[in-house]
Amino acid sequence: MVAIMKLYFIIMIIVMLVYMVRHIIFTYNRLYSQQRLSYRDIYDSDLPKITVLLPMHNEGRVITMLFDALLRCDYDWDKLEIIAIDDHSVDATGQIIDQYSSKYPIIRTLHRTDPDQRRGKPVALNEGMVMSTGEIMIVFDADYRPSKNLLKKLATAFNDPQVGAVMGRVIPLNASKNTLTNLLNLERTGGYQVDQQARYNMRLLPQYGGTVGAFRKSLILHGGGFDEHILAEDTELTYRFALDGWHIVYDNSAECYEEAPESWDARGKQVRRWSRGHNEVMFRYLGKTLTVNRLSFFQRIDAVLLLLVYIVPFLLGLAFLDCIALFFLGEMDILTGWWIVLFVGAFNAWGNFAPFYEIAAGALLDGMKDELLVLPAMCFSFYFYMWHISLGFFDAVVDTITQRHVEWVKTDRFFESDPDETENPM
């Protein structure tokens, strides 16, 4: 038994070192290599007809800001359709989208009010796609604010017939609100500015993130729509497309601004839900990813490491318990006290979705300065993530074993629409 515990400990050190090397490569690539450009920066051709899907559940507090931002976008309205999906809201969401729809003909509404209907983002997206007229779908959560040229940037990539999905960059609007939002801003910087862009540069597997992203409707409908039993329809789309040979593009210049969670409770629930959904996808796609022929060797390695990213904190938690058990068994002489390497790996390779040097690289590229001073707080949020992601992993295990019905729970909102700030773009 002790031998197994020691072996597990050593395996975890190796896993951590693998992730560490991966992120060092990403950081080097992003900092020192020529960057792959947005399709929009390369050519400017006819744009396709697009449909913007806005799935919403009780979003009355924030939805007007999203509508106003979308209406300010510079996309030709003849080729733009916005479908606002009210998914069983009990607040003013339904009335607000009706008001906007009556004022702006490009906004169509879909009210999902039948109590017998299944609720959740994948179901709402499936129904929205069926009533849409565009071939390219672009999805936003209600607390996002697209930049003026975002729709053009995302849509242009689909002139390449090999592109199946495009992901834009997410930037928190409320970064200065508190320590948590500042940390999330840093995480996003490491995750998008460095990690996603490096994976795109290296022709690996950028991840479609479920919001601020676009995809070909026909590909999803051909596969029977989004799986309504899964929480991470975005990760599922990423792997479904990649394994079928479609390219996923990351556009670092397609900026969209989000409301980051302002309380640790909200963040904990959000991360737990992500972990649950991501791990469900991991159970389904790990075998296929390892065996599929369409991916190159390095693409496959990266796809597997990306797929495992939400199980690693749970495995680290087990390694921590393993260490404690070995300590009380008098076996801490393993590697003569070098168990520290485990935590070196943890902080360097996994950290909080991005290791500290990757975040620092992103901050440097983004011109951040004083924001960096909260970077050491990552050491404590690391334990917070380990706990909540492990809970999400257990949820996914139970979901998979029992095939239980998964309910979609959205993240709490903190912003309040300011009526004075809404503008009439007409």
Partner 1 sequence: MVPDNKSRIFYPRDYRHLNKPKPRSLLFLGIFVLPTLCLFLFFYPTITISLSSWGAAILRATTKTVVSIESVRFIPGLGEASFISIEGTTPSFTHSLVNAIISVFFILLSTQINRNNRPLMIYLSMGLFVHLVSSLFFLVIPDLFPYTIQDYSRLYILQQIGTWMTITVISGLATNLVLPTGGYKYAAFIVTVLFSFIFGCVRYVIYLYLLYRFTVLYMAALYFIFGVLYDFLGMIAIYAIFVRGASYRMSSNAGKGEWQW
Contacting residues toward partner 1, per CB under 8 A:
24, 27-28, 30-35, 37-38, 193, 252-253, 263-265, 268, 320, 323-324, 327-330, 332-333, 336-341, 343-344, 347-348, 356-357, 360-361, 363-370, 372-373, 375-381, 383-384, 387
CB of 268 to partner 1, least distance (A): 7
Nearer to partner 1 by Cβ, of 16 and 82: the residue is 16
CB of 14 to partner 1, least distance (A): 15
CB of 223 to partner 1, least distance (A): 32
Q: How many CB atoms lie within 10 A of CB 217?
A: 21
Give the C-alpha separation, 254 to 192, whole Å: 11
Nearer to partner 1 by Cβ, of 58 and 178: the residue is 178
Nearer to partner 1 by Cβ, of 324 and 409: the residue is 324
CB of 249 to partner 1, least distance (A): 14
Which residue in 269, 204, 268 sits closest to 238, CA to CA? 204
What sign does the CA torsion over 282, 284, 285, 291 have? positive
For residue 55, the cross-strand partners are 85
Nearer to partner 1 by Cβ, of 298 and 383: the residue is 383
For 130: left if phi > 0, alpha if psi spans -120 to 50, otherwise beta; the answer is: alpha
CB of 10 to partner 1, least distance (A): 15
Nearer to partner 1 by Cβ, of 8 and 343: the residue is 343
Nearer to partner 1 by Cβ, of 131 and 266: the residue is 266
Strands (E), 218-280: 247-258
The DSSP call for residue 177 is: S
Residue type present at position 106? I
Contact 117, 88 (CB under 8 A): yes
Give the C-alpha separation, 278 to 423, whole Å: 38
Place of tokens 């318990």: 321
First to last CA, the chain: 71
Give the C-alpha separation, 398 to 188, whole Å: 30
Nearer to partner 1 by Cβ, of 104 and 347: the residue is 347
C-alpha distances out from residue 256 to 66, 168, 213, Å: 11, 7, 10
Nearer to partner 1 by Cβ, of 244 and 265: the residue is 265
CB of 418 to partner 1, least distance (A): 25
Contact 13, 344 (CB under 8 A): no
CB of 114 to partner 1, least distance (A): 36
Nearer to partner 1 by Cβ, of 77 and 380: the residue is 380
C-alpha distances out from residue 228 to 181, 246, 304, 355, 399, Å: 31, 22, 24, 33, 13
CB of 192 to partner 1, least distance (A): 10
Give the C-alpha separation, 233 to 210, whole Å: 7
CB of 380 to partner 1, least distance (A): 4
Token output for 295 = 């991916």
